[in-house]
Amino acid sequence: MPLSDHEQRMLDQIESALYAEDPKFASSVRGGNLRTPSTRRRLQGAALFVAGLAMLVSGVAFKATMIGSFPILSVFGFIIMFGGVVFAITGPRTSGKGAAPADTAAPRQKRAKGGGSFTSRMEDRFRRRFDE
């Protein structure tokens, strides 16, 4: 359920007060650090996956790559495959330094009208309690 305009204003005031009081803490707890991976990063992850798959299959196919009866090349291939997938689906890490709260804020969406009379009454009650 989206926030009302009043609730959104209050949340923005709390956020700006937090940034003014302790910007280092505010930037460390801000949840916007996850980024989507670029196309280049996805291609690199896919290449790692294919290389790991080739190592996995060749480790099973060729007996020379085994240490005793343990397929060491296949294990390394699986680890590389897993790392390639993780690399492809995660975005680069960001430090978050120097970013103001207004820079990363997404545009606010308007609340859908037609919530019915019950929701409007509840919002009115909340506003009255909050204004007192």
Q: Which residues, listed in sequence order, are joined to residue 67 by a DSSP beta bridge? A: 70
More confident residue, 128 or 31: 128
> Could you report the per-residue pLDDT of 53-71, keeping only the tens digit for each?
999 999 888 888 888 888 8
Does 44 score more than 60 pLDDT? yes
Query: What predicted TM-score, i.e. pTM, was given to this entire model?
Result: 0.47
Which ranges in the chain belong to alpha helices (H)?
Answer: 5-21, 23-29, 39-61, 72-89, 101-104, 116-131
pLDDT confidence of residue 115? 53
Contacts of 90 (CB under 8 A, 6+ apart): 37
pLDDT confidence of residue 109? 47
pLDDT confidence of residue 110? 47
Does 83 score more than 60 pLDDT? yes
Averaged confidence pLDDT in the chain: 78
Instruction: Report the C-alpha gap between 11 and 16 in whole angstroms.
Output: 9
Exposure string (b/e) for 1-32, b if CB count within 10 Å is 16 or more?
A: eeebeeeeeeeeeeeeeebeeeeeebbeeeee
Largest distance between two CA atoms of the chain: 80
User: What confidence category does residue 98 fall into, taking pLDDT thresholds of 50, 70 and 90?
Assistant: very low
Does 34 score more than 70 pLDDT? no
pLDDT confidence of residue 103? 45
| Contact of 87 with 50, CB cutoff 8 Å | no
